[in-house]
Amino acid sequence: MVNYEKSMFMVSRNTSRCVAANIESELHVTRTNCMGQYLGLPSQTSRNKCQVFNNILNRVWQFLQGWKEKLFSSGGKEVLIKAVAQAIPNYSMSCFRFPMNLCKEINSLYARFWWGSNDREKKIHWPSWKRLCVSKEQGGLGFKDLCIFNQAMLAKQSWQIIKNPNSLLVRVLRGKYFKHGNFMTAELGSNPSFVWRSILWGKELFVKGIRWRIGNGFSVIIGSDPWILREGSSLPF
């Protein structure tokens, strides 16, 4: 069943007004130039990716602004940053590659909140944010570096593609990008979507941490596939 009152459609810029009007008349569905968001994610992207994900930056800023009026201990700030502020972009980062500049801006908001800086008063950031993102065992505080975390989340998508080869997403990707091959050998191709570019960026990290478990050996290319375990060789870091 289709709810025509809630349905909309878009056409490309190359579609004439006459054709678009005929489609609208036949389908009884409203035409739009912007589909908005779905599950908090943009349903369409433009060349300016920072603008596309600007709502994520604004959400983080609004949360941190609300907290600045209250007094927190260092432990309280740590919990709020890790449990709430750094969780805001999680879902979006599991689907898209964020621009480096956007990650730096969001990391900067976290750092300013941690050190107590605001628009009226700037405080010294003694260790860098990169240093604070190191694990506690190594002298940091275990905060997330969003750029690294973004690639790790997209690397998980590579694992899901391999584990669920018959899912709708994988069938769509296979039909467009690796119809006569497999995901591990798939390349960018011509006119790739932003989602596919993001997935392949995550795959760069994914392939550093995988190894073949040898069965009959029919599918393994012994000269190029990773199948020999060496100390530390199966870990991406």
pLDDT in tens, 98-138: 999 999 999 999 988 888 766 666 766 778 888 888 888 88
Does some domain include residue 229? no
- Do both 108 and 165 map to the same domain? no
Residue range(s) defining the domain that contains residue 29? 4-33
Q: What is the pTM of this model?
A: 0.74
Tokens of 186: 């798939």
DSSP structural state of residue 37: E
- Pair type for strands 41-42 and 37-38: antiparallel
Say how far apart CA 200 and CA 206 lie, in whole Å. Answer: 9
Whether residues 65 and 127 share a domain: the answer is: yes
Tokens representing residue 193 in the block: 């979507």
In a domain, 135, yes or no: yes
Whole-number pLDDT of residue 121: 64
Query: How confident is the model over 166-210, as pLDDT tens digits?
Result: 999 899 999 999 988 888 888 888 888 889 999 999 999 998 888
Positive or negative, the CA dihedral 6, 7, 10, 11 is: negative
How far, in whole angstroms, is CA 147 from its chain's centroid? 9
> 82: burial class by Cβ within 10 Å (0-12, 13-18, 19+)?
middle
Could you tell me which residues come within 8 angstroms of residue 114 by beta carbon, excluding any fewer than 6 positions away?
Answer: 77, 78, 81, 132
Please say whether the beta carbons of 60 and 88 come within 8 A. yes
Residue with tokens 């010294």: 124
**Residues present in the chain in total:** 237
- How many domains does the chain divide into? 3
Residues 114, 202 share a domain: no
| pLDDT surpassing 90 at residue 13 | no
Domain end (from 118, 144, 170): 144
115 and 137 belong to one structural domain: yes
Q: Please give the pLDDT value at position 117.
A: 66
- Poorest-confidence range of 35-49, 57-71, 104-118, 204-218? 35-49
Residues 6 or more apart whose CB falls under 8 angstroms from that of 107 comprise: 129, 145, 146
The reported pLDDT for the residue numbered 237 is 39
Instruction: Please tell me the predicted confidence (pLDDT) of residue 167.
Output: 92
Helices 100-115 and 54-68, axial angle in degrees (round to 10): 0
Judgement on whether residues 16 and 97 belong to the same structural domain of the protein: no
